[in-house]
Amino acid sequence: MFGRDRIEYKTPDQVRLMRRAGLVVADVHDAVRAAVAVGVTTADLDAVAADVIRAAGATSSFLGYEGYPATVCVSVNDEVIHGIPGERVLRPGDVVSVDAGAVVGGWHGDAAFSVVLPGPDGAAADPADVALVDATERAMWAGIAALAAGGRIGDVGVAVEEVAEGGPYGIVEDYVGHGIGTQMHQDPDVPNYRTRGRGPRVRPGLCVAVEPMLTRGDATTQLCEDEWTVVTDDGSRAAHCEHTVAVLEGGLWVLTAPDGGAAGLAPFGVTVAPLD
């Protein structure tokens, strides 16, 4: 199953199993999106996620991973990723990123979304924050769409950079996307920036998590004292979007998107190739 390059290429049947995990993650996203609101704590969101995962007969990919203490990650404002849910109360105008992973029958799905809460007294959120989240989502879809050409993994970073340059936004380089399957993190790395080499070939059986992290300022980050939460050095706000994607003979299948990625990929002229 592992090629010489240590990538775990999946059979169509294995991709079907990964889809089950992907759909649990999609359900977690739906439930947590509905629960995100001013006055809610990040621990409340974690509890919502835990209920959905338990009801599905799945388990969290994150809980206990290298000692990680929660079901999901909730990262607010200058927190980029790996925020630990707790007593923090969400406030008007917050940028909230939620990352969730589920395991079903030993196969993982991993996806993240960001939202901006409305401003105080029902005012609109800061348009610059809305634009940041929008660009991060577009960067993710552009990165995923780049896989459809069957080129190299490095094409993802090129596509993400093209979107981020339009901000301009900082692209976090300290953390990258990754292969995924029987483990949450596998080869290959999937950088969100241009690299010297173009990386491994994109071919059927490859399953990767594409997950750009963009900031309104510099791209450099720091690790907090809790040894998990990653924040921007300059305090600028950040957003994070992620999907788990399978490359198949017939095209792409976004395993953590209920529609398989059809809506997100349509603007790029990429059609999805679900297996069911």
Give residues in contact with ligand MF3 (CB under 6 A).
62, 65-66, 68, 73, 82, 99, 101, 110, 209, 211
Query: Is 243 among the annotated ligand-binding positions?
Result: no
For the chain, where are the alpha helices, taking DSSP H only? 12-35, 42-55, 127-146, 154-165, 262-265
Q: Binding of Co ion at residue 129 (CB under 5 A)?
A: no
- Least Cβ distance, residue 180 to ligand MF3 (angstroms): 8
Question: Would you say 192 and 139 are in contact if contact means Cβ atoms under 8 Å apart?
Answer: yes
Q: How far apart are CA 93 and CA 274, in angstroms?
A: 37
Please say which residue, 251 or 256, places its beta carbon nearer to ligand MF3.
Answer: 256
Please say which residue, 227 or 259, places its beta carbon nearer to ligand MF3.
Answer: 227
- Least Cβ distance, residue 127 to ligand MF3 (angstroms): 28
Query: Nearest 10 degrees: CA dihedral of 46, 241, 81, 192?
Result: 160
Non-local CB neighbours of 75 within 8 Å, separated by 6+ positions = 81, 82, 83, 96, 97, 99, 229, 230, 238, 240
Please say which residue, 69 or 119, places its beta carbon nearer to ligand MF3.
Answer: 69
Please say which residue, 79 or 110, places its beta carbon nearer to Co ion.
Answer: 110
**Three-state SS for 199?**
coil
Question: Would you say 153 and 202 are in contact if contact means Cβ atoms under 8 Å apart?
Answer: yes
Query: Is 178 among the annotated ligand-binding positions?
Result: yes
Q: Which of 27, 78, 110, 155 is close enough to bind Co ion by CB under 5 A?
A: 110
87 binds, among Co ion, ligand MF3, none (CB under 5 to 8 A by kind): none
Tokens of 166: 């339009």
Tell me the C-alpha to C-alpha distance, in Å, between residue 145 and each of 6, 161, 263, 268: 24, 14, 12, 7
Question: Would you say 170 and 231 are in contact if contact means Cβ atoms under 8 Å apart?
Answer: no
Q: Which of 70, 159, 209, 248 is close enough to bind Co ion by CB under 5 A?
A: 209
101 binds, among ligand MF3, Co ion, none (CB under 5 to 8 A by kind): ligand MF3
Query: Is 29 among the annotated ligand-binding positions?
Result: no
Annotated binding site for substrate: 82, 185
Residues binding Co ion (CB under 5 A): 110, 209
Binding residues, by number, are 82, 99, 110, 178, 185, 211, 242
